[in-house]
Amino acid sequence: MSRGINQSRPSRNSNFAIRYRLLIGALGAALVWSGLYRFEHGMCTWLNWLHQPAYATGLMPVGAVVFVIALIPTSWIDKAIKLLASLT
């Protein structure tokens, strides 16, 4: 079955719904909270499921970066994508 002129592919749009942005922000907040909780209870390092060391002091800044990324407006992301596309 071929696509008609009105049934073309949907355009690529980087406008994410607010629910996805809230989920990303909640993930960042959960990482910060988990790192703070473990650090306050004296568990500065532990082994994860891959038996690699994980550090509470590393979880906090990673969670903060994820949280801040969720706050960036999508218009800024669109501008950055267009700028990078024009460079290639």
Secondary structure in 3-state letters for the chain: CCCCCCCCCCCCCCCCCHHHHHHHHHHHHHHHHHHHHHHHCCCCEEECCCCCEEEHHHHHHHHHHHHHHHHCCHHHHHHHHHHHHHHC
Name the more confident of 88 and 19.
19
Is the pLDDT reported for residue 32 higher than 90?
Answer: yes
Q: What pLDDT is recorded for position 27?
A: 93
Q: What pLDDT is recorded for position 26?
A: 94
Residue 17's pLDDT band, with cuts at 50, 70 and 90, is confident
Report pTM.
0.65
